Chain A
């Protein structure tokens, strides 16, 4: 993982802050003077993981760049809830163009900064999973292969939420959406489809790829900070639960995200130049069922129990655990 967990400090580095830690070891989010790149008054649903993830990530970038940041946003929930006329929740220079072009727009911003010799200003592009893995994928791939100096952040809530919950290329197996309904012989999203964008990003051989979760702020901030120490194309894929689309309790957004990580379904990894360099180990491994059961979009797996599907999803988690060695047997990992 990107940083060393602090042991024995009551909550170590698991909580947002920790009065027992040096200021420098606390998160940006613990600071009274954090930038709140995305401010109050936005219209995200209660318990929105994406609103949280965006503030986490951008505040960390703001710290890393000493507030020299320009953000480009794809169309989607984040854009709509943050900037309906006449009110914007952004406190940073922010540009929204289209659904599918945020990576290219950001490339343009980076190019302009290069042309003007203002390379102290950095650019972040951000979008949801639809904008990233589907409609904006061409532009994203182009930005990657040109190695433009852009950090692209995907806030993955695993479906098109802004349009009312439809399937995306990031919708997980068996999940209900309004275009993968829980009916018929294969209820929900069918098995064996979808794409793994972090691995596709790695295949571009770009300098940095990471996954992160709103459930692990220290890990997320460390990755964002590290990404900003690098020039070139960088990609961070952040798992952000959506209470609306996942039919989960808004109060449990972090918990749901945490169980995704702890089950192995959402592995936290880092890769440089296309090679996996690190992963964040699972702390308390749980069966995928615990994660799925918190979400109404998987309700049909439990009544009656769909054993083959549950086994398949568990196999995916096990596959991740094996692939990234998320539960090392030896040597004992720092928890």
Chain B
């Protein structure tokens, strides 16, 4: 209308001329905080990031996001002890997101779909990796993506290391291990099995390698001083588990005693049970609360009929008997003898007292700093005292898990790449962790954790079939959607919707939002309501 009555009639949205942004004393900013799962992940995965993709059913994108950090999603989805889930903020709300189950689904789905990863453009650099365990394979994978030519020398008959020779099949089927390793060899990584390196320096010269990554793991079983130790049928747990990969299964008799309290002890006991031992007895010098083994594994062992004697120490081993002494825990949780002695019958005694590193082949390498138990010291870049030789996995000081080893592989690869290119890899500065109190959990739907199916007990006792099943696609999707996206915008539009001043600009799918500072009055509602805690209020500088 051309002739509107003066002053009493106004044009629509003429208020846009009034920039209310100048009222502001605080301003909102979008931030990305570090989700606790990501912080906890030893393999350095961007868990929140790949769950975000999985939530939308974009499984390939999700899988590829995992693959940026970890070449073994199907394996990790089964055997990782998922510190991410311990850290998961959702645990404080109801139950942690079953991250491992979603990862396993993605890993299995990728195998089913035959998704592959391309090697990077060739750099001409050659890297030798000793050991085809998780750490060595992980390093090989990342170096290959960076374009380096990787050769692995593996002393054993097959690649996989502890993933094949340490973890029983009922926890990690071998076809999964084969599938995830073959994806790496398909990238051009050459793995030489039964290739034990006796002298590293010679191997380097012969192969004209520009750098080396040592990842031989810790395979030597620790020995302990028990009288009569060498009598009777005494075997070490790792050797026992390794034998399971051979054609002829070990003969263990009717009564088996496993001595130790770690995950390997549990693995050995459950394997013995499956081999037909009528009685499998786990003996540990402390109690269940003090076992280093993960409790869910202990629980599964108990379900399967493994018997236990907590607070017992083996004092003597004879032909078919062992003598144990009952212990009591002191104030500090250390076992102290009580003098009460018992005798037990045993056909086989499996010792699971830990492992150490076999470093004999490194004896001529100059500059290496090797500890008494064989652990090799490395610097921040995972380089040993010898220039160009890096080390990782169980042979360096760290927690000995597949996940830590895999993470070492990635970390070492980055530094080896930097070393080969003549620069130093600088880790980007860490973001602050998105703790639970940042979240506005009211917005999240109440949703119970999805449960993975379990093999029935009878078959668990008698076979090596996988105990824990995977989630189906629909359940995996729902589980992914339990993610709270801590500290990271997941485009829920809440800030955009609730701003009383329409001062938030929605940029479109995947592009998040912008604050329109012309109109933002700085009320702080967006920061207060953001479910994920991805908006901070900062003092306005004028």
Contacts and interface: CB of A to CB of B under 8 A. Distances in A.
Direct A–B contact in complex, judged by CB atoms less than 8 Å apart: yes
Nearest to B12: A91
A254 B11 contact: no
Nearest to A46: B523
Given A10-B55, A32-B506, A254-B529, A15 B14 contact: no
Nearest to B28: A251
Contacts of A6: 445
A55 B503 CA distance: 13
A137 interface: no
A284 B501 CA distance: 29
Nearest to A30: B493
A88 B485 contact: no
A275 interface: no
Contacts of A162: none
B498 A41 contact: no
Contacts of A20: 55-56, 481
Nearest to A90: B12
B525 A15 contact: no
B94 to A, nearest CB: 12
A57 to B, nearest CB: 13
A36 interface: yes
Contact of B481 (A9, A16, A252): A9
B162 to A, nearest CB: 36
Given A41-B17, A258-B442, A16 B492 contact: yes
Nearest to A12: B445
Contacts of A27: 493, 497
A183 B531 CA distance: 40
Given A19-B491, A41-B20, A11 B445 contact: yes
A10 B486 CA distance: 12
A36 B10 CA distance: 17
A81 to B, nearest CB: 9
Of the listed residues B11, B442, B500, B531, the one surrounded by the most CB atoms of chain A closer than 10 A to its CB is B500
Interface string A81-107: 011011111111000000000000000
A16 B489 CA distance: 13
Given A26-B493, A254-B525, A89 B15 contact: yes
A273 to B, nearest CB: 32
B494 interface: yes
Contacts of B528: 249, 251-252, 254-255
Contact of A52 (B55, B478, B500, B508): B500
A200 to B, nearest CB: 29
Interface string B506-542: 1011000000101101111101110100000100000
B531 A15 contact: yes
Interface residues of A, number: 58
A205 interface: no
A8 B481 contact: yes
Contacts of A250: 523-525
Nearest to B491: A19
A47 B523 contact: yes
Interface residues of B, number: 57
A30 B490 CA distance: 13
A192 B491 CA distance: 45
B521 A46 contact: yes
A215 B529 CA distance: 10
B443 interface: yes
Nearest to B25: A46
Interface string A9-43: 11110111111100000110110100010111111
A196 B537 CA distance: 38
Nearest to A243: B523
A48 interface: yes
Interface string B471-508: 00000001001111100001111101111111100101
B444 A10 contact: yes
A135 to B, nearest CB: 22
Contact of B502 (A17, A43, A55, A217): A55
A195 interface: no
B493 A15 contact: yes
Given A46-B522, A250-B523, A251-B527, A86 B10 contact: yes
A202 to B, nearest CB: 29
A215 B11 CA distance: 31
Given A8-B481, A10-B445, A46-B522, A82 B15 contact: yes
B446 A41 contact: no
A335 interface: yes
Contact of A10 (B12, B17, B482, B506): B482
B445 A9 contact: yes
Contacts of A5: 445
Interface in A46-92: 46-49, 51-52, 55, 82-83, 85-92
Nearest to A17: B493
B196 interface: no
Contact of B18 (A9, A41, A48, A284): A41
Given A41-B18, A46-B522, A10 B481 contact: yes
Contacts of A26: 493
Interface string B289-322: 0000000000000000000000000000000000
A251 B523 contact: yes
A7 interface: yes
Contacts of B506: 32
Given A10-B482, A52-B500, A40 B519 contact: yes
B15 A88 contact: yes
Contact of A15 (B16, B23, B443): B443
28 contacts: A6-B445, A8-B481, A12-B444, A14-B444, A17-B496, A29-B493, A30-B497, A39-B13, A39-B16, A39-B502, A41-B15, A44-B500, A44-B501, A47-B500, A47-B524, A82-B15, A83-B10, A85-B10, A88-B14, A90-B13, A214-B498, A217-B498, A249-B524, A250-B525, A251-B523, A251-B527, A251-B528, A284-B442
Given A10-B481, A40-B518, 19 more contacts: A11-B445, A14-B442, A14-B444, A15-B443, A18-B493, A19-B56, A32-B506, A36-B502, A42-B20, A47-B500, A47-B524, A48-B500, A51-B500, A55-B500, A87-B18, A90-B13, A243-B523, A253-B500, A335-B445
**Which 8 pairs from chain A and chain B are nearest by CB?**
A17-B493, A16-B497, A41-B15, A251-B524, A12-B445, A29-B497, A46-B523, A15-B492
